[in-house]
Chains A and B, each alone.
Chain A
C-alpha cells in the first residue's frame, strides 16, 4: 500500500462536531455553553444540538417555540414563572405563567423529553394529561409552588407514565378531587425513585400506598402528607428500609410505648437515611425514635415543626453531620448555641418565625443565635434568619466570622427596626457583610436602613445576583447606587421603598443586563414606565395596579402613581395573556 494522495486535511480546529459535543458535555455551567456557542458557527451548531438540559428562568423571556427550535435535543427542561414576591401574595391572581404553551411546544418538538420542572406556574390537569400522553419516556415531574391542577391530573400521570421515576410535588396548591390517584399506578409499575406528596391536603389510600412502596424497590425519597398516621409510617419504613430521604408528615399521636418501639425499630432499619423533613405536629416524646438515624443525617427540615423545648435541642444536637438545618425560631438562642457547638459541619441554616404577626408571643431568638452559629460553623455559607432585633456589632462580628457566605438573608420582622442598642440604622452591619463576603450571591436586607448601605452594596457586592429590599432607603440615590453598581445583579426585588423614576430611567441600560426588576409600593409614575418601555424595546415593562380599581390603565395620566412595576428582558415580545389589572406599557 503506497501513500495515497494526501487529501488536504482540514485545519486542526475543524474537528468533527462529535468532539466538541463531547467536550461541551463536561462544561459545568450553561453560561459556559453559551459562550462556546458564540465562538463560531461549528461550535454553535455543536452546542445547540447537544444541549440536553435547559433552564428557562423566566417563562416570558422567550417563547416555547424559540426554545424548541434552538435546542432540538433537550431531554430535561425547567421553567419558572411568577416573580419571587408571588410567595408573599404581591402578584395579582390570574397574572399569568401558564405552563400549557410550554407543554404543547414540548409535545410537538421534544417527543423524547424525560423531565419537566415547573416553578411558580399555573399547571392545569390538561397539562398533566398532555404530559402523560405525549412523552413515551417521561421520567421526572417536579412541581414547585404551582397551582391549577387537581388529583385528577395526578391520576393521569400515574396511569400514563410507564417509566416515571420521580413525582415531586413541593408546596403546591392541589385541588382534591377525591380520586384515588395512587391506585392508578399499575401493579406492574416499579420504577419510582421519588414520591413526594407532602403538600396534598386530602387523604390517600394507605393500603395502595403501602403496596406501591413495597414493589418500588428503588424508592429513595418518600415524603408523605398529613393523612398518614404514625403507625402507618412505621410500616412504610419497614417496607422501604433503603430510603434516603423521608418526609414524615404529621408525626403526631398520643404517646404509647408500643408505637414508640415500633417507630424506633423501623428507623433502626433505615441505614441509608440521610435527609429528614416533616414532623409537623411532632410530639416531643417521639423524637427519641429518631436517635438511631441522627448520626447519618445530613439534612433536617423542621421548618413546619412546632415542637420546642429540650427534646428538640437534644435531637438536633445529636445530628453531628448535619449540613442543612431548617427550624422554627422555637429553637431560641440557647438552642442555636448548642446546635452551633454540636453541628460543626453546618452549611445552610434557615430559621423561620413561628408567629410573625403576633408580636406579643415572643420567642427568645435574637442576634445571639446567629452570632453563635457563625462563630462555630466554619462551613456555613447560606443563611435565612427571621428575628426581631439586631445590632450592627452582631452583623460586623458575623461578617468577620464568615467571609464565606454565598447567601445571606436577614429578615427583621418589624420594618424600620434600628440597632436595638445604639438606635442607629443597620447600614454599618450590612456594609460589613458585603465587604467581607466577597462571594455573596444572594442578599436580603431589613431593618432601618439609609441610602448609605446601598452605596456599600453597589460598590462591594460584585458577585451579587439577587437582592431583596423592603422598607429601606431614604431617596432615589439608594436605588441609583444599586443599579449603577452590583456588576453581577440579575434579580432585584423592592417593596415599600422611597425610590422614584429618576434612578430607574438613569439606569435603564442596566435593566437589560438583568433578568428582572420588581418594584412595588415605591414612588414610581406611569409616565416613567411608559418612557422606559419606549426607550427599551427589549424589555417588557409590566405595570400592575389594584385589581379593584375600575379605571383602565390606558386612560391614566403620566403622573399617576404605579403600584407595582415588573420589568424583565425578553426576546418574545409583549405577552398576550395579561389579566385586566396588568398592562404592558
Chain B
C-alpha cells in the first residue's frame, strides 16, 4: 500500500463506533459522536458500558424500528456538528419532516422512545400541523384511525365546554347525511358538487361545534364606569313594528334539486318548520300549533325564502333529507 492510502485508512480505523440493536434483532453501527447526541444512548454507553461491540449492542426500545432509527441517526449526524448556523438547522429540520404521515408518526414515536427532545418537538409539531384545522373524518382518513367511538362518545367531545357543547341533533344529521351522500354519490353524479358543498358546511359547523376555546385574549374589560349605558339611550321607545310579512300567495317557486319526495303543488308547505327543528324525533310531532297557524308560518317562511333567494336551495335539500328520515313520524 502506498503511504497516502495508508493515511486514508488510518483515521477510519481509529473512529469509534457504537452498536445499536433494534427490537427485530437487526443491528446497526454508527459513529460514536452521532450516537452520543442521543441522551438515551449516551446514558447506556456511560452508565452500562454497552454498545462498544456487536455482541454488546445497545438494545433499543420496541418502538424504534430500523427505518426510524436510520432517520434519527441522520438527524443526529447533522445536528451534532457544532458549526452549523441556526438558519441551516432550521432549513434541515423543515425538509426533514417532509415525509409521509406514516413515517412521521413512527419517527415521532421512536424519538420519544429515545428521549431525543428536539426531534420529539419537531415531529410532534409537524403532526399537529397536519391535524390542525381538519375534521374528525378527515383526520381518521389521514391517520387510518378506526371509527370506534359510539354516538354517545362522539357527543362527548361536543362537551368541549370551551364553547359549549351541543347537538346530538347535528351530529346525527351529519352521520346520516354522510351515509346518504356516499350512497347517492354512487347513484347520481350530477348532484355531487352541490352535495359536497353541503357536506363542507356541515363539516365547518361540526368543527366549530366541537369547540373553539381560544377566548380572544387581549380584549380587556369593558369600560364600564363611563360606558355603562352604551346602548341604553332609550329615550325613544323601541319602534314597535310588527308589520306582517308580505304574503304573496301560495305559489312559491323554490327550486328543488332532489325533489322526489315533494310532489304536492305547494312544495313550500312541506317546509315543515317543526320538522326542521326535530327531524329525528320519532315521537309524534305534536307542537301545539293548529294546522292553520302552521300553514301561515310555512307560507311566511316561503316568503322569506323568495326574498332571500340565497341559501334556500341547499337548505331545502337538507330539509328534504331530514324529512325523508322523519317521514315515519310525520304528521302529514
Question: Which residues of A does B touch, CB under 8 Å?
Answer: 1-4, 6, 11-13, 15-16, 18-19, 22-44, 53-58, 61-62, 66-67, 70, 78, 80, 87-90, 144-145, 170-171, 301, 303-304, 324, 326, 328, 348, 350, 352-354, 356-357, 386, 411, 413-416, 441, 446, 455, 458-459, 468, 470-471, 474-477, 480-481, 484-485, 487-488, 490, 495-498, 500, 502-503, 505-506, 508-509, 512-513, 515, 521-523, 531, 534-536, 538, 568-571
Contacts and interface: CB of A to CB of B under 8 A. Distances in A.
Given A480-B304, A505-B297, A515 B164 contact: yes
Interface stretch (B85-93, B123-131, B178-186): B123-131
Contacts of A415: 233-236
Contacts of B24: 3-4, 6
B229 A19 contact: no
> Which 4 interchain pairs have the tightest Cβ spacing?
A30-B213, A34-B210, A26-B128, A3-B25
B140 interface: yes
Contacts of A66: 159, 161
A187 B21 CA distance: 57
B161 A56 contact: yes
Nearest to A570: B164
B5 interface: no
Contacts of B153: 41, 44
A111 B243 CA distance: 58
How many interface residues does chain B have, given as a range? 35 or more
B79 interface: no
Interface string B220-241: 1111111111111111101111
B161 A19 contact: no
A6 B22 CA distance: 11
Contacts of A538: 166-169
A144 B154 CA distance: 34
Nearest to B212: A31
Interface in B147-196: 147-149, 153-154, 156-170
B163 A31 contact: yes
Contacts of A505: 273, 297
B213 A531 contact: no
B273 A38 contact: no
B310 A459 contact: yes
A3 B24 CA distance: 6
Interface stretch (B9-17, B36-44, B45-53, B199-207): B199-207
A534 B169 contact: no
B229 A89 contact: yes
Contacts of B154: 38
Contact of B211 (A34, A80, A487, A502): A34
A547 B296 CA distance: 35
A22 B160 contact: no
A498 B242 contact: yes
B284 interface: no
Contacts of A414: 233
B326 interface: no
Given A33-B160, A35-B131, A506-B304, 12 more contacts: A3-B25, A4-B24, A19-B127, A34-B157, A35-B207, A57-B215, A80-B215, A324-B218, A326-B223, A356-B233, A477-B304, A484-B315
16 contacts: A24-B128, A30-B213, A31-B212, A38-B158, A44-B157, A80-B215, A326-B223, A415-B233, A459-B310, A490-B163, A508-B276, A509-B170, A512-B169, A531-B289, A535-B277, A570-B164
